[in-house]
Amino acid sequence: MKQYIAYALILGLVWSFVSGNISVLNFMVGSILGLLIVQSLKKLYRPDKDMTFRSIAEHLPKLAVYFAVLLIEITKASVQIARIILSPGMDIRPGIIAVPIRATKDASITAIANTISLTPGTLTIDISDDMTKLYVHAIDVSEPEELKHSIRDKLEKYVLEAFE
């Protein structure tokens, strides 16, 4: 329980700085909101382990790599979308593909789905009932195996390292 209070205090501090009103009352409001958030989301992120500062510190480099890869992939996809827009005669084949995933935890599956949706030109539509495939709409699926490979080996790999 002590660790949740520490997280709530950190979120209270963040709340104060983000809101631009650094006062004791604002810090207390942010801390109470932080405690509610931490308590409601604690099972989502590691139900089998206690959250400690050490475990978070160990995951920070992996999260940094994930966000760097995400920014690179967003940039590459944005350039590809810009090429499609600037070349209206370009032959594109939009469609939906099933991408098998290795993630088993809800947080990881959600992170993968959101990462795909954040990348321009792709959108996660659904997940299979057995939670082993994501259905992804892409602006160009002329090479579906390459797209699956890109999602599994570039995006999912880093999501698994950061969130599982």
Q: CATH number for the domain including 94?
A: 3.30.70
- Count of CA atoms in the C-beta half-sphere (13 A) of 13: 5
pLDDT in tens, 120-130: 889 999 999 99
Residue 36: inside a domain: yes
- Top pLDDT among 91 and 32 is at 32
Q: Which domain holds residue 33?
A: 2-45
Same domain, 92 and 142: yes
pLDDT in tens, 40-99: 777 665 544 555 667 667 777 888 888 898 899 889 889 988 888 888 787 888 999 999
- CA 81/CA 78 separation, integer angstroms: 5
Domain count of the fold of the chain: 2
Secondary structure (DSSP) of 41-89: HHHHH-TTS---HHHHHHHHHHHHHHHHHHHHHHHHHHHHHHHHHH-TT
Task: Tell me what the pLDDT averaged over the chain comes to.
Answer: 85
Residue 147: inside a domain: yes
Inter-residue contact 118 to 74 (CB < 8 Å): yes
Residue 54: inside a domain: no
Same domain, 147 and 74: yes
Residue 14: inside a domain: yes
- Top pLDDT among 79 and 164 is at 79
Same domain, 76 and 23: no
Same domain, 16 and 94: no
26 token code pair = 């604002």
Same domain, 86 and 150: yes
Same domain, 38 and 90: no
Residue 32 has pLDDT above 60, yes or no: yes
Total-model pTM? 0.66
Same domain, 95 and 22: no
Q: Give 163's pLDDT tier (boundaries 50, 70, 90).
A: confident
Residue 52: inside a domain: no
